[in-house]
Amino acid sequence: PVSAILEAAEEHRADVIGMSGLLVKSTVIMKENLEELNTRGLADRFPVILGGAALTRAYVEQDLHEIYAGEVRYARDAFEGLRLMDALMGVKRGVPGATLPELKPRRVKATTTAVVTEPEEPGEGQRVSRSDVAVDNPVPEAPFLGTRVVKGIPLKDYASWLDEQALFKGQWGLKAARGGPTYEDLVANEGRPRLRGLLDKLHTESLLEAAVVHGYFPCVSKGDDLIILDENGSERTRFTFPRQSRGRYLCLADFFRPEESGETDVVGLQVVTVGSKIGEATAKLFEANAYREYMELHGLSVQLAEALAEYWHARVRADLGIAGSDPAAMDGMFRTEYQGCRYSLGYPACPDLEDRAKIADLLRPERIGVHLSEEFQLHPEQSTDAIVVHHPEADYFNAGGRR
């Protein structure tokens, strides 16, 4: 909460406040926090730096700058954050010539020349209620209905599902510099050896407690809804997903048999975690100011949560008897060249994080030590949930516009 941020800023006599917005929801929170700083008359005292995946430069430097009575800037990465700190401190200390970087204007096409041609929209009264997704695909037989808990999954089972590129580039920031080693050299000489060392450490110190709760549920679809049924065929709960407003008019519900077909479909749900011990280990490194080690271990732990989710998804495909078209090589897996799709709530096809509560109700992940917070975040952090869809046409798609 913003009050805790402000208390800490006062206590440590901070010069600048930095906030990170990782979730779409946090874009709204950033705005509210800045308004709160305005209300408390603190805008003059605290310049603000904002970063994180959910924010864009235009949103921060145009929209938020407009409402904040103090200075606010966007940092693309930690290094831009440092440059901004230098500039802000220069201005604060009155260093001659010190200025803040110019605000970046939003790049918009000139309205006089831009002609926006909307793809054909269905007319009034013709709202598309279903896409052309096939409804005659075979429905696989689930190995059981209901939920199961699996604990103590060994690291060696899911380590090979680690997406090295996401780890090295996304988390560890390995990047070729001009005149320096190439990315491939960095991976060979730094990335892989450090990764091997860390995986050994995780294993010998038993820092991972990988566990899964998963289940198969009978279901049908109705319009934009996926209806989960109980054993008597009555409605247990329902998810409502956004439908694309053009193109194929896809909606996640379309990948399940419609109610009027009289048939019942099956959906998989899963929550995976690598446990809470790893969070304690990374927190210790952070407190000891061992930032590099922290960043490497934390980055690896979050990618291992993702690896576990992907590994489990493969087991579900095998259980459902649809693993026949799985690609032979791992990079094909990362490109999702298999039958079906694992949709995590919060992603574009199913953006509502509130729906995580329905998954938690159905799976009861507290049985593997995972809890859903009021902000719909799973704790421990290195956990992720998913709706597993078997339909051969299921793939990632964007159904924006109804967030």
> Minimum distance from CB of 190 to ligand B12 (Å)?
17
Q: Work out whether 20 is an interface residue with ligand B12 (CB under 6 A).
A: yes
Of positions 237, 344, 357, 367, contacts ligand B12 by CB under 6 A: 344
Best CA proximity match to 356, nearest among 388, 387, 381, 382 = 387
72/220 with CB nearer ligand B12: 72
Site for ligand B12 in 306-325 (CB under 6 A): 306
Instruction: Tell me phi and psi for residue 29, to 5 degrees.
Output: -65, -40
CB 30 within 8 A of CB 59: no
How far, in Å, are 106, 178, 242, 292 from residue 83 at the CA level?
Answer: 21, 20, 41, 19
- For residues 205 to 234, the per-residue mask of contacts with ligand B12, x marking binding by CB under 6 A and - elsewhere, is ------------------------------
Alpha carbon 241 to its chain centroid, in Å, reads: 17
Q: Work out whether 25 is an interface residue with ligand B12 (CB under 6 A).
A: yes
* Residue spans of alpha helices (H) in 16-128: 24-39, 57-58, 65-67, 78-93
Write the CB contacts of 387 (distance below 8 Å, at least 6 apart in sequence): 226, 239, 252, 267, 268, 269, 342, 343, 344, 345, 350, 359
Q: What is d(CA 142, CA 128) in angstroms, rounded to the nearest whole number? A: 31
Q: Which two tokens stand for residue 44?
A: 């003059």
Q: Which two tokens stand for residue 248?
A: 């194929």
Q: Work out whether 279 is an interface residue with ligand B12 (CB under 6 A).
A: no
Of positions 122, 146, 154, 170, contacts ligand B12 by CB under 6 A: 170
3-state secondary structure of 366: helix
Q: Work out whether 282 is an interface residue with ligand B12 (CB under 6 A).
A: no
Hunting for tokens 């917005």 — which residue is that? 21
27/147 with CB nearer ligand B12: 27
Q: Work out whether 16 is an interface residue with ligand B12 (CB under 6 A).
A: no
Q: Work out whether 385 is an interface residue with ligand B12 (CB under 6 A).
A: yes
Q: Work out whether 27 is an interface residue with ligand B12 (CB under 6 A).
A: no
In this chain, which stretch among 39-47, 180-188, 214-222, 341-349 interacts with ligand B12, using CB under 6 A?
341-349
3-state secondary structure of 386: strand
In this chain, which stretch among 87-95, 185-193, 219-227, 383-391 interacts with ligand B12, using CB under 6 A?
383-391
Q: Work out whether 18 is an interface residue with ligand B12 (CB under 6 A).
A: yes
Best CA proximity match to 129, nearest among 261, 258, 263, 235 = 258
> Minimum distance from CB of 202 to ligand B12 (Å)?
16
308/322 with CB nearer ligand B12: 308
Q: Work out whether 72 is an interface residue with ligand B12 (CB under 6 A).
A: no
Q: Work out whether 24 is an interface residue with ligand B12 (CB under 6 A).
A: yes
Of positions 47, 81, 242, 268, contacts ligand B12 by CB under 6 A: 81
229/378 with CB nearer ligand B12: 378
Of positions 364, 377, 395, 397, contacts ligand B12 by CB under 6 A: 377
Q: How many residues bind ligand B12 (CB under 6 A)?
A: 32
DSSP structural state of residue 394? -
Q: Which two tokens stand for residue 55?
A: 């924010």
276/377 with CB nearer ligand B12: 377
> Minimum distance from CB of 92 to ligand B12 (Å)?
17
Q: Work out whether 56 is an interface residue with ligand B12 (CB under 6 A).
A: no
> Minimum distance from CB of 90 to ligand B12 (Å)?
17
CB 164 within 8 A of CB 183: no
Of positions 33, 240, 244, 382, contacts ligand B12 by CB under 6 A: 382
Q: Which two tokens stand for residue 11?
A: 């206590």
3-state secondary structure of 214: strand
Concatenate the DSSP letters of all residues of 10-21 into one string: HHTT-S-EEEE-
Burial class (CB in 10 A: 0-12, 13-18, 19+), 393: middle
CB 207 within 8 A of CB 254: no
- Interface positions with ligand B12 (CB under 6 A): 18, 20, 22-25, 49, 51-54, 75, 77-78, 81, 170-171, 302, 305-306, 344-347, 351, 377-378, 381-385
